[in-house]
Each structure stands twice: as C-alpha cells, then as structure tokens.
Structure 1
Amino acid sequence: MQTATLFDLPAIQTAPLSASKAAPAKKARRPRKVHASVPLTPSTTIPDELIRDADWIVVSSSGGKDSQAMLSYVVRRAKALGMLHKVVVVHADLGRAEWEGTRELAELQARLSGVRRFEVVTSGVDFLDRVEIRYGKLKAKAEKEALERGEDPTQAKVAPAWPSSAARWCTSGEKRGPIRTLYTRLTAELAHLGRPVRILACIGQRAAESDQRAKLAEVEIDLGASNGKRHVTTWRPIHAWSDRKVWREIARSRLPYHPAYDWGNRRLSCVFCVLGCNNDLVNGARRVPKLAAAYAKTEVKVGADFKKGLSMQEIIRRAAALEATEGPAARPPVGTAMAAHVGRAMTAKYRNRQAVLYGLAA
C-alpha cells in the first residue's frame, strides 16, 4: 500500500472532486452499548468454579467429535459437583446443509450422557436460499454505489455471497443468532431470581484447528449476547486439547460418533463447509451428490465459486473421477477413525462397551 509523501500532500489536499466522482460519506458506526451490569472480564477461569457460578450450562453440540468430547467432559465435571441439572444441550439444526442424522445423533449423545434437556434451534431459512438472498442484497448495494459514483451499474462488481473465513456470516446467522433465542427463553425461566441470569456457554473450539482459533481465549465474556437480564460467559473447555485427547475422551465416554469420520472426514456438521479441507468436500460430493448438485446450481445463480479457488463443479468432477477409479464409496468399519488416533485395542473396548451398555452394534 503506497502512502502520500510530503510532496504529494498539497495536491491531495487541494485537488477538487467532481460531484459525480465524490465518494459517498460513510456512516460512522455506533459503538456497541454494553449494559452497566455486564462484567468485562470473567470472575474466574477455573472450570469447577465456572460450573458452580452458572445458573445454566449450555453446551452447543454440532454432533461432531469436538462438541461430543466437550459434552462428555463438561457432564463428567457437572456430575461430580452435583450440578448436572444445570446442563442444557443445544443443537443448531442446519437442515439439508448438514450430514444426515446429525440432529438425531446430537440428541442421542445428550441422552446417553444423562442430560435431560435437549434443545433444537434453527434460523428457519435454508442455507442455499440465504446465499441467494444475500447475493441479491449485495448486488443491489454494488449497483447503487456505482450509480453514486457515476459508473455503469451493470458493470458493478458484486462481493461474494458465499461465506468465507473472513466473512463467516453462516455461523452468526445459522448458529449464534438462533442459540441466543434459547438464552432468552432460559433467562425468562429464571426471572424470579431478581438478578441477571448467569449462562455458561460451552463451545468445542480448539486451538489446534486453526491459527485464528488458537488466538481465542479459553474463557471470556460474550458481550454481544449479554445484557441487563443475562450475563453470558463463553467457555472453551477443550481449547488446548489435541486430536488424540479428543478421541480418547470419546472412547472413554462410549458415546457413538458420526460415521462421516470413519468415511475420512475431518469436520462436521455441514456436508460442505467453506473451511473444510478438499478431502472432506470431495467426500461429501460422493456421499451426497444431490446436495452437491444444488450447491453447483447456486454457484451459477450468484456468479461465484462456493470456495475461493475451488468451485463445486470442480469438487463434483473430482468425486466423479474417484468413483470411476475406485468404484462407489464404501463404508469403512465402525471405529476406523478412532483406531487411527488411540489404537485398535482401545477402539475394540469402546465398541464392545457400546454394545453392552446401549445395545448399539459393536
């Protein structure tokens, strides 16, 4: 980025701007107001103290391995403190965008853990429909700004409508927003306390997942979700955990995990996540071809690739190439993913205990 020198300044300061080329004045953003009762820093970062201080312990479950391991860990500590009754598991249902059976699995994991309350929230809008709606708004904005600059609106460059690592609107719109509606209901249930309700929001984000997540604090106040009626503290219980530790916790808990991991996936619950690795995306196209075709159709409508540098059409092409050389995707034995991290012996014990305790297939 070039900066003006001392010799450039007079010209920059005095050069007249034509009315048609003048940039529209940007509206100053209003600073977010935080209720005076909301603490800016958590009173403690000690797990047992966080659990004791909370009125509600809300565990967000995607049905994936990290939230599953987190659920097991949090429930174990809550039980030891005699506070399991505070735990609520919430699943943000993403509809057809997530792997089949994810919602049911999240509920099963909660029930088998001993949690009595399982909640499902949803935005009520299909993900691909939301992409098209967003595209329409971005297109209208780009055309309006082009007109204000005196340019041809038909040539206006429209920002990508798909989410990205820099614009994860899917997380806020499909998960964070709907989950906050649950916070509102839980707060109303304890209105008789006569003080702000303390909610401990448990999220299964780990530092090992990305550089961005490594920078997140293990415990922090969620200023956006907090107000005069509720104080929300975000806790990332497994933030420092390795993949091996996650799988060891799953093996210890004996809770069933999603078969997509045995198929080779690294992430869940969306079949096609813009943050997912190429292997996950191709695997999704092989397992759920109709959904991949729907994403490709939306790409055409919004004029942009699903993922920067990688279109869904290309993902489908790679999936078809694998099908041609390897044949239809087969389902590996249950425990394949776990065995890669904790070994066959521990995996065999895990499967046998599942069969005995829950009547699930070993």
Structure 2
Amino acid sequence: MESLSAISGMRSTPSIPQLDLFGIGGTQRAYGIETSPEIDVVLGRAAPVFIGVSGGRDSMALAYRVSDHLQEVGHAGPRFLIHSDLGRVEWRESLPVCERLASRLGIELIVVRRQAGDMMDRWLNRWKNNVARYKVLECVKLILPWSTPTSRFCSGELKGQVLASAMRKRFPTGDVVSAVGIRRDESSSRAKMPVWKQDYRTMRKRGVGHTWNPILGWTRQEVNAYIKSKGDQLHPAYTIYGSSRVSCSYCIMSSLNDLVAAASCSDNEAIYREMVDLEIESTFSFQGNRWLGDVAPALLDADTKGRLAEAKERAAARQAAEAHLAEHLLFKKGWPTAMPSEHEAHTIAWVRREVASAVGLTVQFTDADTVMQRYAELMASAREKASVGGFELEEA
C-alpha cells in the first residue's frame, strides 16, 4: 500500500536507530520528523524559523526536535522560540519552562502579549460589550463572555494573531516558517491537519508565511520519552498536579480532572475566584453545563457560594425565557433577516424584560412597538452597509 507520505508529497526524515529505553517499540521509527518539499525549499533558503512554545510537553518536544533537524539539514537562517503569554490565566511556571528551554537550546526566546489585555481581560471586556449590545437590541439573545469550542477566539486572538504580528514585524520581507507542535492523536480535527500550509496570518507583499507541523505523527508516549532523552523535565502542571494539558490553567477544553488539578495549585486560586465571579455576574457557566464554581468550592467563601447558587437560578430563568424565541428569530448570517410579526415582537419584548430581570440589567426596547421600530432600523442599516461593503452584525 502506498504510504501517506508518498500520497501527500510529505517526507519523514530518518533518525539514528536508538535503544528502546522508554517503551515506544523497537520496530517503530524513533522520533521522526515530518516535512514537505515547500518547507525543505524555504529552509534551504535560510528562512527564519519560529518555534512556538507554551511550556507544554508537545511544544518542548517540538523545540528540541526541530532544533536538531535544522542542524541536520544545515539551516543557515535565524531561529527563535516564541511564546504568547496569556497573563493571569497562565500556569505560573509556563514562562520559566520556556525560558529554561531557550537557555538549553541557546536560542532567543521572544515573549509576546496582547496589548489590549490578557485572556481574563478579554473575557471581561467581551461581557461588557455583549451587555451593551443586548441593551440596545443588537443581539436577540444575551451572549456569554467565555470562549467556546466552536468560538475559540482565545487561541485565535491571544495566540495566533499576536504571534503572527510579532513575526511580521521582526521580518517585514521574505519567507518565514512557523513550527507548531500539534499531533494527530490529540483530536479528530488535528488528525486532518497537513504537514505544511501557507499561513495567511504571516503573509506579506514580499514574503510568504509557512505553517509547519513536524511532529504530527508522534504519540504522547513518544513526546514524554523524547523530552526525557534530552535530560529535561515536564511542566509541574503534569508532574506535580496531574494535569493532562498546559494552556490556560482553567481552559474551556479542560476535562474535569484538569480543572481540579489546576485548582489544587495555590498559584491558580486568585484567577479561579475571579472567573467564578464572572460566572456569577453573567449567569453563564464556564463550560457548557459545568460551572467552574463547582470544581473547587473549598476555595470560595460562604458569600460567594451563596451568590453562585443564586446565579444558577438566574441562569435557569434566563434560559427558560429565551427558549420562547422562535428559531427563525435567532442569529444567522445577515441578522436580522426578517421583521418579526406583532406576536413575535411581543414575545421578544417579554423575553428582554425577563432576561433583564434575571441578570440584573437595564435594557431598552421592552414593548412590541419599540421592538418593531428597532428591527426596522437594524434592517435598514444592514441593507445600507451591505450595499457599501458587506459589513454585518455578528452574534459573537
């Protein structure tokens, strides 16, 4: 059978045979790296290489293996480790792990941060903006403050965009390579990722951006063994607290076990309480039906526990009211796409009054007549904007 590498045009570089010291199987190619003709060409042209590091195990393995590969192929261009600091939601040891890694490899570490604030600031500001939009009927349902698995602006804005901006500024012209430590066995979506693709975020008029995923085929066991073979240690989140991942200490993608692990670290207590306070204020749980406040109630005082219980009741009231909105009234591309009927306008007005009462908001457009007037304004504005550039409201 023709191999996946042959089918896709990608290649895996051979590596020196090793003893099976870490239980990864003697017949399996040890620590192979996947590449592509496009990557080989730009490396041969000495393109700068940015190796993304988070402090997590995959990025550690990536940094060691890519550094070795660049030496093996005689790469003559500059290389960097690059880390996006997410602020107070980060595990405190993440940046020190990245700094140690840079020191061991003898590679400059570039640390970038979102200028408009960290991840928690982004959630807080999103809630503030979404409340403002709801008050003036720019969205028909109140929108949560948190990122979600289908709306991961957290990684897009605070990692991808910030990292790409730093790369463009450092090298305004010429090709750049961004090496990323994702693996196929992490998820079904990552299993479909290519070894190479053009990166629109780092494209410039006189330079092409390249995303390179060189350890796609590695297993977690290989990652752990490879880091051990390099004489390095994993992040304390794994070794001391038992987390399976290192990203935000409390991540929207975390399992219950990982959330409990994060809460067991005293460094994460302050941000835990701040996030629970936002759950209470907004009436939106951090993860779908899982309230972060239920993960480590011992970290909350009696007053906060009481307010959390009330927030859950207020959330139920909000959800019950919004359930009365007809499907065709909810957000979709081009919203609003139709004027509500008089009956629907009465329903929208009633829902707004109920939601405002449950969440503790003061809102406009709480009767049928003003709702109809507001929809007419929104639709006229949407038509005007579409005619000049296609801007539209988003439920985001």
TM > 0.5: yes
Structure 2 Cα separation of the partners of residues 284 and 136 of structure 1: 27
State the one-letter code of the partner of 1:176. G
Counterpart check, 1:200 vs 2:191: no
Distance in 1 (alpha carbons) for counterparts of 2:86 and 2:244: 18
**Structure 1 residue aligned with 2:157, among 173, 181, 188?**
173
Counterpart among 289, 296, 318 of residue 276 in structure 2 = 296
Q: CA deviation at 1:186?
A: 1.9
In 1, Cα distance between equivalents of 2:256 and 2:285: 14
Q: Give the match's secondary structure for 1:75.
A: helix
- What is the one-letter code of the residue matched to 2:256? N
- 1:126: Cα distance to partner? 2.7
1:221 aligns with 2:210: no
Aligned residue for 1:110? 102
**Offset at 1:67?**
0.4
Written as runs of structure 1 = structure 2, the 5 A alignment for 1:201-350 is: 201-262=178-239, 263-287=241-265, 288-317=268-297
Superposed counterparts of 1:138-149, under 5 Å: 138-145=130-137
CA contact (8 A) 2:164 2:201 kept: no
Structure 2, unaligned runs of 5 or more? 1-8, 11-34, 301-396
Query: What percentage of residue pairs aligned between the two structures are identical?
Result: 24
**Deviation digits for residues 121-148 of structure 1 (CA, Å, limit 9, x no counterpart):** 00030322211211122233344446xx
Amino acid at match of 2:276: A
Change (3 A) 1:269 1:74: same
Contact 1:286 1:319 in 2 (8 A): no
SS at match of 1:55: coil
Please report how far the alpha carbon of residue 161 of structure 1 lies from its aligned counterpart in structure 2 after TM superposition: 1.7
Amino acid at match of 1:279: N
What does the per-residue CA deviation read over 1:131-172, in whole Å, with 9 as the maximum and x for residues that have no partner?
Answer: 1211122233344446xxxxxx9xx52122200110000112
Query: Which residue of structure 1 lines up, in the alignment, with residue 57 of structure 2?
Result: 65
Distance in 1, matches of 2:82 and 2:211, equals 14
CA contact (8 A) 2:276 2:293 kept: yes
Q: Which amino acid aligns with 1:180?
A: A
Q: Which structure has more RCO (C-alpha within 8 Å, separation ≥ 6)? A: 1
1-side partners of 2:299 and 2:260: how far apart?
5
Letter in 2 for 1:81: V
Q: Relative to 1, partners in 2 of residues 1:84 and 1:120: Cα closer, same or farther, differing over 3 Å?
A: farther
> 1:89-128 maps to which residues of 2 (within 5 A)?
89-115=81-107, 117-124=108-115, 125-128=117-120
Give the distance between the partners of 1:84 and 1:160, measured in 2 at CA.
48
Cα deviation 1:200-231 (Å, max 9, x = unaligned): 10111111111121122121001233121331
Query: 2:138 aligned with 1:160, yes or no?
Result: no
In the alignment, is the contact (CA less than 8 A) between 1:68 and 1:109 conserved in 2?
yes
Distance 1:75 1:59 in 2: 9
The residue type equivalent to 2:263 in the other structure is A
Q: How far does the alpha carbon of each residue in 1:215-254 deviate from its partner, in whole angstroms, 9 at most, with x for none?
A: 2212100123312133110001111111111112111222
In structure 1, C-alpha distance between the alignment counterparts of 2:201 and 2:166, rounded to whole Å: 15
- What secondary structure, in the 3-state scheme, does the structure 2 residue paired with 1:100 have? coil
For the pair 1:130 / 2:122, whether they are aligned, the reply is yes
- Output the amino acid matched with 2:252: V
- 1:139/1:54 Cα in 2 relative to 1: closer, same or farther (>3 Å)? farther
Change (3 A) 1:178 1:91: same
Count of matched residue positions in the alignment of Structure 1 and Structure 2: 263
Compute the displacement of 1:49 (Å).
4.2
TM-score of the two chains, using structure 2 as the length reference: 0.62
Residue aligned with 2:215, SS: coil
Letter paired with 2:84: A
The code of the aligned residue for 2:59 comes to S
TM-score, length basis structure 1: 0.68
Structure 1 portions without partners, runs of 5+: 1-40, 147-152, 189-195, 321-362
Summarize the Cα distance change of 1:273–1:54 in structure 2 as closer, same or farther, 3 Å threshold.
farther
Q: Relative to 1, partners in 2 of residues 1:230 and 1:48: Cα closer, same or farther, differing over 3 Å?
A: closer
CA distance in 2, matches of 1:215, 1:49: 23
Range with greater deviation from structure 2 (232-241 or 298-307): 298-307
